[in-house]
Structure 1
Amino acid sequence: MESLEALVAHIQGLSGSPEEVAHLHSLLKQADGDSLRSHAAALVPFLTHLSPEAHSLGYLYLLEACATSGANLGADFLVTVADFLTACSADQIRLAPDKFLNVCRVFKDQVMLLNTPIRGIAPLRAAVRKIQASPEQLTPVHAEYLLLCLLAKQYKAGLSVLEDDIFEVDQPKDLFLYCYYGGMIYIGLKKFPKASELLHNAVTAPMSSLNAIAVEAYKKYILVSLIQNGQVPSFPKYTSATAQRNMKNHAQIYVELSTCYGNGRYTDLETFVESNAAVFQSDNNLGLAKQVLSSMYKRNIQRLTQTYLTLSLEDIARSVQLDTPRDAEMHVLRMIEDGEIHATINQKDGMVSFHEDPEQYKSVEMVEHIDTSIQRLTALSKKLASIDENMACDPAYLLKTGRDNRRFDYDDFDSVPHKYF
């Protein structure tokens, strides 16, 4: 390998035009590998002679060699990596995506090792945008970023990538982790419909064999579904046969919890959760299981609204197994505030009157919400049509479908009288 001084000189001199960067890339490939890693400790001082923004490709090669060498590079190295991820040129680092991902992973591992995940959030958020070819592409950095958001309990930070519509996925594992971590972030934000949607995607994604991520997602999906809807939907038809056959066997306690919940008896459910607390705790799901338990009060009160127009707080407390009418009042008030029921409480006689949904769907806010939903669905429809068109023209897809489907020749129709042609 040529000297480090000469290599750095090449990086400084060949980081301008695309042609120069392409030539530099070939030189860096020749110098890459064990030869660069063996000089890891000596590479760090040379980084000070390079600009993370102007010399991104060369900087990346040296940085990746340092990061993956296993050498103890010190606390300052994390600052160097963070500055690079924030400032680097997207066009240059996309020429060596594997190296960029290696740097991101080492950086994530180091901030976790130091128990300071919050330090990695802003740099990895920048890294997601740098490595993405478009906002619709899912990258391996997405899962690394969401994991740090979870560990740092910075759930809102995760929304910056979760609110994108994803249509392009390279590796199945990236999708499973994205849905699983994303579902957990929405759980942390108490946004259970969005959590259910992402966990559902992990459970129903195509899979030839069961994987641990999907199983853990299914456990949380059951809990979230009970909290949100009071029941767990059956597997849709497009769910893989592997998941439909085996998923429930790996989440038996959760399936039994769902059955117990469906019986509608709070004391039975409470006993079940308490007796299986160790299992829920080992799965890091005990907090969710307790939320399932408390949601039964809400679910039973909602059932009462379907039967009665008015009911006393005392009757509500008795029906849903609450200790006092005061407890019933607090639950009803909270549900009214959250928009889960429509009712008024007469403080004088302790009676609750249940009402129909007052929404007339003609307010400015509702019209804007409907308009936004229509625009999003229209865009999704166009995207699906485009994907369908591309697949229809894909030689590999046509070869596969041609092999799987029965081919017909004119001879197949010999028995049809010619007068019908």
Structure 2
Amino acid sequence: MDDIQMVNNTPTLDEVFGLILSIDNTDTLRTSTVRAHLDVLTEEQLASVLQTNSGSDSQQSQSQQSPETNDPIHILDPLTHSLGYLYFITARCRKATQQNALSLYHMLCQFIDVADMEQVVLAGSQMSRIIVAVNHLAQVLKNDLIPLQPLSTLITRLSPSTNNDAAINSPGGGTALTIFHAALAKQCILTKMYQYPMPILNRDIVQVDPKMYGTTIEHYLEYHYYGAILYIGNKEYEKAVEFLTLVISAPVQKAVSAIQLEAYKRYILVSLIAYGHLYALPKYVSVVIEKTCKKQYGAYFALMEAFDGDDIEKLTTMIQKHQQTFEADGLVGLAKQLIQASYRKKIKMLTNIYYKIKLDDLGRQISADASSSPLTKDQIEHLLIDMIGKNYINANLSIVMEQGVPVKMIQFHEETTPSVALGSNHRLEQAITNIARANDQLAVMDKNEGLNGDFQSKVSLNKKIKIK
């Protein structure tokens, strides 16, 4: 049955369907021509019902049958015939109307829950049919949230945590990159569901297998870029730096992509917020990225220079000077956060100078050059409490009596345990080590296919995302 007798080299829907039904195990399916025949069928064929034999008897029989009798998505078993079912259910979903969209969505979710993932991966890049299908259903149902559950379920089922050394050293476990990772991250940004994908984002990508999962360089770059934006939305800046580093350091040989340049702009801002300085990139990162970014986006390097000068007034002036640029990039919120980051940096420096200092005196010292944006006493106290709570500094606040008047005092202590920065550094170094294991695969992908022209010149969502 594997060799279909085709008319004009084009199989009919019934012929392909018969071939699918004749195979009841994955091993046989893997060596069959089912995938090739499914790829030849048009969307109209995949979304239609089976034809019946001609003749009065068959016509009479057809009149007595329910519509489901000739419908592939009602005949095929989602578990036994997962590969074929994927094509038929997604084609039907792509033609969904308001009348049947909800029922088709439930059928698609049921398929994703029970499907044989060994068959699903045989679809390769055609697994993207599911992404197109759920996006169309979301549009028809006017509910952008509905793609989240099926996409996250697919990621979890397709790429369970691996047991290699890289995964063992990863706090969230290691996983393989699928075509659904970037789609989920993007949808979470559009719906502002920043917390939803955290369990997935916290699992390091330690395997990139384009043959098995249909992934491309674009999927890799987009996932980590969108993931960084989600971490920024959750104010997890150290992890955002990690993801942006992975975008910038990806081995792209043919051209620096727009997404890497966009990542570099965010990398500057988030590094300064998280660490108080530009975090060092791996040595193997191409210098072309930094040179190109410096040439095209000088405002960010001017801002970094002002931040490094430890002059809050100059920093504020620089933000105002280039505010139009930051607003156009959707990054004015991050840029303004550098002011508070500069205050934190000053407080951190004072821990090396003072053992004890009054809260009022500390406020005067860190606000001496910030006449346009000085912090109030309450703001300084809240900033200190936040820094202590996040282990940025080792200190405590107390109230002492001076001449019968209560005075708030800060006492700094020596660092007896590794600081949060050291922990973050180790985390980033481990992540870079993990992705180095996948760099050979990425380099091969780049050599074979490169980045398409559209992807090199633009970044999806870039103008839509505003970081407050």
> Normalising TM by the smaller chain, what interval?
0.7 to 0.9
What's the TM-score once normalised by structure 1's chain length? 0.76
* 1:9-408 aligned within 5 A: 9-11=18-20, 13-18=21-26, 20-22=28-30, 25-27=32-34, 29-30=36-37, 32-35=39-42, 37-38=44-45, 40-42=47-49, 45-66=71-92, 75-76=101-102, 77-108=104-135, 110-111=137-138, 116-132=143-159, 136-169=175-208, 170=210, 171-207=216-252, 208-233=254-279, 235-321=281-367, 322-347=374-399, 348-359=406-417
Superposed CA offset, 1:170-195 (max 9, x none): 42222211211111122122221111
Q: Is the 8 A contact 2:93 2:136 kept in 1?
A: no
Cα offset, 1:40, TM superposition: 2.7
CA distance in 1, matches of 2:142, 2:349: 46
Map of 1:405 onto structure 2:
none
Cα offset, 1:200, TM superposition: 1.2
In terms of fraction of residues, the more helix-rich structure is: 1
SS in 2 for 1:118: coil
Question: 126-135 or 199-208, which moves further after superposition?
Answer: 126-135
Question: 131-140 or 55-64, which moves further after superposition?
Answer: 131-140
CA distance in 2, matches of 1:217, 1:113: 33
Opposite residue 62 of structure 1, the aligned amino acid is F
What is the aligned-residue RMSD (CA, Å)? 3.7
SS in 2 for 1:48: helix
Question: 33-42 or 333-342, which moves further after superposition?
Answer: 33-42
Q: Which runs of 5+ in 1 are unaligned?
A: 398-421
SS in 2 for 1:350: strand
CA distance in 2, matches of 1:4, 1:209: 43
Map of 1:411 onto structure 2:
none
SS in 1 for 2:357: strand
Question: 346-355 or 220-229, which moves further after superposition?
Answer: 346-355
CA distance in 2, matches of 1:237, 1:277: 32
CA distance in 2, matches of 1:120, 1:265: 46
Cα offset, 1:330, TM superposition: 2.6
Count how many residue pairs are aligned between Structure 1 and Structure 2. Answer: 376
What's the TM-score once normalised by structure 2's chain length? 0.69
CA distance in 2, matches of 1:200, 1:350: 41
SS in 2 for 1:119: coil
Opposite residue 128 of structure 2, the aligned amino acid is L
SS in 1 for 2:411: strand
CA distance in 1, matches of 2:276, 2:249: 20
Superposed CA offset, 1:254-311 (max 9, x none): 1111111112222222232233333222222122122222222211111111112222
Question: 163-172 or 250-259, which moves further after superposition?
Answer: 163-172
CA distance in 2, matches of 1:59, 1:87: 12
Map of 2:403 onto structure 1:
none
Superposed CA offset, 1:206-255 (max 9, x none): 22312111111111111111111111135543111421331222322111
Cα offset, 1:360, TM superposition: 8.9
CA distance in 1, matches of 2:336, 2:38: 57
Question: 193-202 or 101-110, which moves further after superposition?
Answer: 101-110
CA distance in 1, matches of 2:246, 2:350: 33
CA distance in 2, matches of 1:300, 1:136: 40
Q: Is the 8 A contact 1:64 1:99 kept in 2?
A: no
- The higher-RCO structure (CA 8 Å, 6+ apart) is 2
